[in-house]
Structure 1
Amino acid sequence: MKNYLDLVRVSEQVRRRQNRLTRLCIVLAVFLVTAIFGMADMELSSQRAQAIAQYGNWHARFASLTQAEAALVAARPEVEASAWYGAVNTDLEADYTIDGQRVAICGCDDTWLEMFPAASCVAGSYPSEPGTVMATGNARTLLGAELGGPLTLRFPDGSETTLRVSGFLGDTSAMLRADAAGLLFNSADYRTYFGTAENPGMLFSVRYTPFCSYQRATREIQQQFGLADESVGTNPKLLALSGQSDAPFMRMLYSAAAVLSALVTVSGVLMMTGSLNSSIAQRTEFFGLLRCLGATPKQVRKFVRREALGWCRTAVPAGLLAGTAVVWVLCEILRASTPGFFGSLPRFGLSPIALASGALIGVLTVLLAARSPAKRAARVSPLAAASGNAGTVQAARKAADTRVFRIETALGVHHAVGSRRNFLLMAGSFAFSIILFLAFSTTVDFMGHAVKAVRPSTPDFSILSPEEACEIPASLAAEIAQVPCVKRAYGRSFAYGLEGECDGKPIRITLVSYEENQFGWARRDRINGDFSEAETGRGLLRAFSGDAAGGLETGDFVTLNGYALPVSGEVGWSPFDLEPGEELLICSESLFRQLTGESGYTVLDVQFRHNVTDEDVAGIRALAGENYRFSDRRLDNREARGGYYAFALFVYGFLAVIALIAAFHIINSVALSVSARMQQYGAMRAIGMGTGQLTRMVAAEALSYALGGVVLGSAAGVPIHRLLFTRMVSFQWGDPWAVPWKALLVIAAVTLAAVLLATLGPAQRIRKMSVAETISTD
């Protein structure tokens, strides 16, 4: 050995078992940071994939450009790709028809298909020749289109033209939902058929190179050609995901991850500082001997820091690997759940920002945590080597109260609350995790409303009355329900513009009938009242709309067609849009027939089993006949599920991280507290206290900290939860705030489970050690 620092390696070998908890602290801190940034990066990647699929891979669009001006824009160095695009009749209001069915029409360059993956070619080719078009895939069923076959397009003025199908596009959720087909022309034919000027409403879309300023490039193009603000459009979600937009929603993801990672760093520093302080306290004699051999305080501080950095050699890579593995698992879940959206996510991708943040914060955590113990070790005098300096026990100012608890339990509680400052710090650190968990749990409720999710009542396929009348026979629902691929079929009847009265004031009402399934789903969104009266035909439900113009409340009586009926409850969500001042009331099917005399359905919804095929859906269409409109929402539902799963994984991932921080902090704190009192426990065993009593003493101390943390965390966390819930959910959707019992029970269960786990290790250690070993120093 040529240098005193070589003792670091010897110390690691001798104290390998004692250092295991400290290494685990570093592993967990690095794991948490890596997982947080990795999940944020994963969320951004998944949202980017979803944005490109839904809105296209372009950044800006310009109207009123000539072809010469567009060529100048495309030649700019920051423009990576560009294409013309135009569309008419996307709302299906104009009479552009094929065989009597209205169609949506668009025109574009071939490069536009690369910008819009949802419109990718699945058969044939781009319509480069005059008089050719591509059709959406559902045109095969709706229009009888065939590759290379003719289609006759009729214009609103009555003129017609015959086109040849050059290929088919992938189906889009919008076309399937509207049960309509779309045609895609090349740019030249689009200008010929749908405009007389050089630029008949076509937009010039551009995608910029990755590292330029998108906003500045857009402003420069606008100024160069004197374009009005309304002639310039952007893809806001894609810009936000690229960090090039002022929209705050997606950019908050990394900032939220940064805040949480800072909290993780603080927790890691506190845990590391406590662990190192405990290690230094147990090795006072060793550092005193170093001083006796001539080591200066500076050298002792360097020794402690070198020892701490030595732990990083294995702990930091282990934490990085664990955090990356979690991100890989989450990405694989997204790939498997919605391959159409997230199939492009890398299977074993690495997040540079997650790895760099994890490694950097791991090393900084160790260096910061080592500062205080290093100074403490450097202050050990050579004389401490002779005595061992075991005097870490503070004088007791008050004896333990044994009037309520047995002696071992009273001593455990006394150890916890004997020092008010230490108790508040320990309980406060536990409470901080509980407050964070409760505050962040409001995002789960917000996600349920704000993120487009597939609700249990969402249909996969709908049969609609063309005139929005009660024309669909109830027997059709029974027939469709017997089809093997159908999970359930349920209908609704509508009556619009009914005139009612409440307390002498006239009100305008839309009346909707529900059956058993729909009443069951409505119960999940109940705001107040008793739904049983509405289900049995003796009352009405009011759908919350945020509009107080109608003034209806639960308990009011509404007079409708000569019947006085009570508003027996209020539901917080309904899938229907209303005009301002209009009330939507829900009743049973029997009451609807009694009030209106109608027995048919306006809408018949169908939910399929997982094994449904396009042929099965075609069979449902044939069974219903040609007198109704249809809406296929299967693709729309798959897209919604993909976006919801991505957000849900992100939200619940953070909640899991917070719970993990709380659990490990409790385990680590109890372990350190026990380590600091080992000599006291040895003395207690020497005077006759059994290992079972010592175990109960440790459990009482840990439980005191945990209960104090739960009380403080709940007292501060519940009001914060109410404030956030009121602003994020109640104001927009009307849901009343309630005490978050589920979140409280979850975090309380995590805390108590951590206390039990924290007790097992020290208790086993005390049982295995002899009295002499327990009393002696390291």
Structure 2
Amino acid sequence: MKSYLSLIPISAKVRRRQNRMTILCIVIAVFLVSAIFSVADMMLRTQMNRAAGKDGSWHLQIAGITQSQAEQLAQQPDVVCTGAGAVFNEGGEEDYRLNGKRVVLYGCDVQFLLVNRSVAFAGTFPEQDGEVLLGKGAARIFGVAIGDSVTLKLPDGQSRTLTVTGIGGVDESYYEMQFALVDIYLPQETFESLLTGQGEALPQTVYDLQYTSAAKAAKALPQLQQQYGEDAVHENLNVMGSAGQSNSTAFRTVYGMAGVLFALVLLAGVLMISGTMNSNVAQRTRFFGMMRCLGMSKQQVVHFVRMEALNWCRIAVPIGLVLGSFSSWAVCGALRYGIGGEFATTPVFRLSMGGLCAGVVVGVVTVLLAAQAPAKRAAEVPPVAAASGSEQAAVVHHAANLGSGRTETALGIYHATASKKNWFLITASFALSIVLALGFIVILQFASLLLPSLAPWQADVIYTGYDNERVLPDTMAQQLRRMPGVARVWGCTGLVHVPASSDRNNVEQVTFCSYDDFMLESSKSMVVKGRMAKNSGADNEVMTMYNKTNPIRVGDTITVNGVPLTVVGAFSQGIFPDDVTIIAPETLFRRVAGEQNYNMIGVQLDRTASDETVLALAAFSSDQIVVQDLRESNRQDRGTYYAARIVLYGFLAIIGGISLLNIVNSISMSVSARMKQYGILRAIGMDDAQLKRMISAEAGTYAVSGLVVGIALGLVLNRMLYTRLITHYFGAAWQVPWGCLAVIVVVVLAAVVLAVYNPVRRILMQPITATISEL
């Protein structure tokens, strides 16, 4: 034997069964980190591709500069492409019509289109007067192709015939769901000439800059803001944020949350492996005592334990990386083929170098950090322990105060609390899992609130009056209900700036809205305070919105048009703005405000509906009625929501599984470390039932301490996240999550039951003499 380190592979062979759990813990830590980082890497690639398709590939946008200044910017070595563009009649309010539809006019160059699209447009960009490039939605509505003609009607009554040279514009996801608003693209000279001829002021031209990388753009941003002013320079938030280069407060918050999650994962791994190694060292007290007798110094013992831990990494890290890669492939496959939508381009069978490197680095670092305390503990083992075969016991100054309790219960509690470090590690591991669970619940609630398409009344096709005018009669809603492919139709009216008074003198005007019977019934699940108002309008009961800016509270009496209305409940979200809003059943609304047309009608489609159904519904579109197809938007929002649930619940399940394994492992290793003591207790008369109660008391002590600390810290984190994310943005007040706490308690108690079973069975199956003589 050349050195003490030569004993490491020999010890690994002899203690293969005992080391199995430690190696498993390292495998799980590496697997968790590599899986999370690999999935995050694939999601980042997907988001970057999606951001380029939705918001363009440009990084910075500058307004209010001259063409010569733009040309100077384009000559910078880090700038790949510069596109110039201006937009007029963005809301369609001016009297410009294309084949009878309201039209948005863009004046731009071809580079502007290229940096605002993910794929090339069809055809060619117009170069002369009389040529136009149509948006994809416009081409679909009019049924035209390249080479066909469209007619642009101007406010002065003149009409121009334009030849379509290309199809494909910017922000296609917005224009493709419109049936009353279309977009066209003209050369800048034609655009300016047309507007000047109509006496219009020319809109400001913006210049979109695409850099070689987001990092180069982030480096150039401060200088450009200093040169042209902060209000003149804007970043493409999605593109810059996806690359981790955004200065946005929202993205910095996301980066911070990712950092916290990384720290929690690292801490979970350290606690799990450190607890396992502590128990491992405790089982080998005689071994380290013998090594000290043979001349091994304390420093050599520390080095031995660390190298032994790294030797376990040789086996555990590759296994963890393989499992992490397979898990990331499974998650990405579920997102791509199960959810689709915006995740349809998610890479599946790709190795993430970032995920693999993170798994290796974090795995090794975690093991080294976890080995610190066990290594020092092993170094403190005195040589005399080689003879006794047990670790040096703490000095006991007096007998335990058992009171009226059982002796075996007191012994179990003593075993759990005797080693303060071990007790702390197991308690901290329990607590960390509980804290993560309580924190993730808030993130899931926040994700749910961010996606309004999940509301039960969310429409597939929606009709609104232009500029929110009330031009939709009830007869239109009845006609829509009779159309094939239509499942449900609802209508609502919103009157803004309605004079009102409150019994608390804190309201001067309100937004007075009506919900029909379907809207009220489907909104029951969104009542966050009070109760639902009666559909009949009896007792003048109304609802409001629950948010921080709304002064109206449940129980207030609001007088509208001389009619006192009692607020009996509050919704978490609604159709109309969430400011000072009163929502009344339709019967009560008409009694207070008189007969009114709707300014919004929503249509939910059934499974038989097709694109032809939507085109038939779009026939109601007119100059005053705006029709929007929300199906794709709803699919993407639902996909995002369920993807968030898969990732977050998956992460929570992994953390919960690690916690469960750690509980079972810690108690099992603790029992194994005291196997000789249990044998002595059985030899002097302790029966099987007493032994079970003693080990159950030890496990219960860990569980109770972990629950107390975890729930206390978890509620603090839960309230902080809820206040900052949900109360701040949606106004809902924080409440103690009793249901979640009950689930946590049940899971922890179940883990204790599982943890006790195997160690007790192993002890009872061994002869007493074998237990006493076990090394």
Q: TM-score range by the shorter chain?
A: 0.7 to 0.9
- Tell me by how many angstroms 1:605 deviates: 0.4
- Relative to structure 1, the CA distance from residue 602 to residue 452 in structure 2 (aligned partners, 3 Å threshold; closer, same or farther) is closer
- Tell me by how many angstroms 1:474 deviates: 4.0
Q: Paired residue for 1:62?
A: 62
Q: Paired residue for 2:662?
A: 665
Structure 2: 5+ residue stretches without partners:
none
**Given the alignment of the two structures, is residue 48 of structure 1 paired with residue 65 of structure 2, yes or no?**
no
- Tell me by how many angstroms 1:4 deviates: 4.7
Q: Paired residue for 2:208?
A: 205
- Of 356-365 and 260-269, the range deviating more from structure 2: 260-269
- Tell me by how many angstroms 1:633 deviates: 1.8
Question: Partner letter of residue 529 of structure 1?
Answer: G
Q: Paired residue for 2:759?
A: 762
Q: Distance in 2 between matches of 1:719 and 1:295?
A: 47
Q: Paired residue for 1:730?
A: 727
Q: Paired residue for 1:525?
A: 526
- Relative to structure 1, the CA distance from residue 415 to residue 276 in structure 2 (aligned partners, 3 Å threshold; closer, same or farther) is closer
Q: Report the aligned-residue RMSD.
A: 3.7
Question: Partner letter of residue 368 of structure 1?
Answer: L
Question: Partner letter of residue 757 of structure 2?
Answer: L
Q: Distance in 2 between matches of 1:504 and 1:362?
A: 61
**Corresponding residue SS for 2:92:** coil
Q: Distance in 2 between matches of 1:502 and 1:217?
A: 53
Q: Distance in 1 between matches of 2:329 and 2:683?
A: 52
Question: Partner letter of residue 756 of structure 2?
Answer: T
TM-score, normalising length from structure 1?
Answer: 0.87
Q: Distance in 2 between matches of 1:107 and 1:653?
A: 48
Question: Partner letter of residue 701 of structure 1?
Answer: E
Q: Distance in 2 between matches of 1:273 and 1:552?
A: 54
**Corresponding residue SS for 1:167:** strand
**Given the alignment of the two structures, is residue 147 of structure 1 paired with residue 146 of structure 2, yes or no?**
yes
Residues 271, 429 of structure 2: 8 Å contact kept = no
Q: Distance in 1 between matches of 2:587 and 2:442?
A: 39
- Of 486-495 and 670-679, the range deviating more from structure 2: 486-495
Task: Map 1:100-119 to 2 at 5 A.
Answer: 100-117=100-117
Task: Map 1:615-654 to 2 at 5 A.
Answer: 615-622=612-619, 628-645=625-642, 647-649=644-646, 651-654=648-651
Question: Partner letter of residue 349 of structure 2?
Answer: F
Q: Paired residue for 1:173?
A: 174
Structure 1: 5+ residue stretches without partners:
none
Q: Distance in 2 between matches of 1:554 and 1:263?
A: 40
Residues 504, 556 of structure 2: 8 Å contact kept = no
Q: Paired residue for 1:699?
A: 696
Q: Paired residue for 1:17?
A: 17
- Relative to structure 1, the CA distance from residue 350 to residue 29 in structure 2 (aligned partners, 3 Å threshold; closer, same or farther) is same
- Relative to structure 1, the CA distance from residue 776 to residue 149 in structure 2 (aligned partners, 3 Å threshold; closer, same or farther) is same
Summarize deviations over 1:564-585 as a string: whole Å, max 9, x none: 432222334223137x8xx432
Summarize deviations over 1:363-402 as a string: whole Å, max 9, x none: 1222233344444445556554444346658758444748
Q: Paired residue for 2:97?
A: 97
**Corresponding residue SS for 1:204:** strand
Q: Distance in 1 between matches of 2:517 and 2:254?
A: 41
Residues 495, 510 of structure 1: 8 Å contact kept = yes
Residues 535, 587 of structure 1: 8 Å contact kept = no
- Tell me by how many angstroms 1:618 deviates: 1.3
Q: Paired residue for 2:310?
A: 309
Question: Partner letter of residue 132 of structure 1?
Answer: E
Q: Distance in 2 between matches of 1:548 and 1:432?
A: 35
- Relative to structure 1, the CA distance from residue 7 to residue 64 in structure 2 (aligned partners, 3 Å threshold; closer, same or farther) is same
- Relative to structure 1, the CA distance from residue 189 to residue 274 in structure 2 (aligned partners, 3 Å threshold; closer, same or farther) is same
Task: Map 1:118-137 to 2 at 5 A.
Answer: 121=121, 123-128=122-127, 130-137=129-136
**Given the alignment of the two structures, is residue 715 of structure 1 paired with residue 718 of structure 2, yes or no?**
no
Summarize deviations over 1:607-654 as a string: whole Å, max 9, x none: 224564321101223478998431222233234345445555554455
- Of 93-102 and 444-453, the range deviating more from structure 2: 444-453
**Corresponding residue SS for 2:16:** coil
- Relative to structure 1, the CA distance from residue 135 to residue 433 in structure 2 (aligned partners, 3 Å threshold; closer, same or farther) is same
- Tell me by how many angstroms 1:316 deviates: 1.2
**Given the alignment of the two structures, is residue 685 of structure 1 paired with residue 686 of structure 2, yes or no?**
no
- Count of aligned positions: 770
Summarize deviations over 1:103-150 as a string: whole Å, max 9, x none: 1122333343332236753x5444456532222233245434333211
- Tell me by how many angstroms 1:534 deviates: 5.1
**Corresponding residue SS for 2:213:** coil
Summarize deviations over 1:473-530 as a string: whole Å, max 9, x none: 5455455445553332211134455444545978434432213332234333324333
Q: Paired residue for 2:80?
A: 80
2:611 paired residue among 614, 627, 637: 614
- Relative to structure 1, the CA distance from residue 628 to residue 259 in structure 2 (aligned partners, 3 Å threshold; closer, same or farther) is closer
Q: Paired residue for 1:182?
A: 183
Question: Partner letter of residue 6 of structure 1?
Answer: S
- Relative to structure 1, the CA distance from residue 328 to residue 599 in structure 2 (aligned partners, 3 Å threshold; closer, same or farther) is same
Q: Paired residue for 1:557?
A: 557
**Corresponding residue SS for 2:18:** coil
Residues 484, 609 of structure 2: 8 Å contact kept = no
**Corresponding residue SS for 2:523:** helix
Summarize deviations over 1:3-37 as a string: whole Å, max 9, x none: 55333222212211110111012112222333443
Residues 37, 257 of structure 1: 8 Å contact kept = no
Q: Distance in 2 between matches of 1:212 and 1:715?
A: 42
Q: Paired residue for 1:540?
A: 541
Q: Distance in 2 between matches of 1:474 and 1:562?
A: 26
Q: Distance in 2 between matches of 1:548 and 1:253?
A: 25
Q: Distance in 2 between matches of 1:576 and 1:183?
A: 31
Q: Paired residue for 1:243?
A: 244
Q: Distance in 2 between matches of 1:536 and 1:212?
A: 59
- Tell me by how many angstroms 1:251 deviates: 3.7
Q: Paired residue for 1:138?
A: 137
Question: Partner letter of residue 166 of structure 2?
Answer: G
**Corresponding residue SS for 1:670:** helix
- Of 629-638 and 653-662, the range deviating more from structure 2: 653-662
Question: Partner letter of residue 705 of structure 2?
Answer: G
- Relative to structure 1, the CA distance from residue 257 to residue 719 in structure 2 (aligned partners, 3 Å threshold; closer, same or farther) is closer
Q: Distance in 1 between matches of 2:177 and 2:64?
A: 31
Task: Map 1:387-426 to 2 at 5 A.
Answer: 387-389=388-390, 392=393, 395=396, 397-399=398-400, 401=402, 403=404, 408-409=408-409, 411-416=411-416, 423=423, 426=426
Q: Distance in 1 between matches of 2:513 and 2:192?
A: 46
- Relative to structure 1, the CA distance from residue 468 to residue 253 in structure 2 (aligned partners, 3 Å threshold; closer, same or farther) is closer
Q: Distance in 1 between matches of 2:84 and 2:323?
A: 47
Q: Paired residue for 2:355?
A: 354
Q: Distance in 2 between matches of 1:28 and 1:467?
A: 57
Q: Paired residue for 1:5?
A: 5
Residues 456, 523 of structure 2: 8 Å contact kept = no
- Relative to structure 1, the CA distance from residue 669 to residue 611 in structure 2 (aligned partners, 3 Å threshold; closer, same or farther) is farther
**Corresponding residue SS for 2:57:** coil
Question: Partner letter of residue 155 of structure 2?
Answer: P
**Given the alignment of the two structures, is residue 773 of structure 1 paired with residue 764 of structure 2, yes or no?**
no
Question: Partner letter of residue 416 of structure 1?
Answer: A
Q: Distance in 1 between matches of 2:433 and 2:347?
A: 33
- Of 52-61 and 141-150, the range deviating more from structure 2: 141-150
- Relative to structure 1, the CA distance from residue 745 to residue 167 in structure 2 (aligned partners, 3 Å threshold; closer, same or farther) is farther
Q: Distance in 1 between matches of 2:173 and 2:391?
A: 75
Q: Distance in 2 between matches of 1:718 and 1:412?
A: 29
Residues 152, 159 of structure 2: 8 Å contact kept = yes
Q: Distance in 1 between matches of 2:413 and 2:744?
A: 22
Q: Paired residue for 1:586?
A: 583
Summarize deviations over 1:138-163 as a string: whole Å, max 9, x none: 32454343332111112233333211
**Given the alignment of the two structures, is residue 675 of structure 1 paired with residue 672 of structure 2, yes or no?**
yes
**Corresponding residue SS for 1:575:** coil
Q: Distance in 2 between matches of 1:667 and 1:724?
A: 31
Residues 556, 566 of structure 2: 8 Å contact kept = yes
Percent of pairs identical after alignment? Answer: 37
- Of 503-512 and 107-116, the range deviating more from structure 2: 503-512
**Given the alignment of the two structures, is residue 442 of structure 1 paired with residue 445 of structure 2, yes or no?**
no
Question: Partner letter of residue 359 of structure 1?
Answer: V
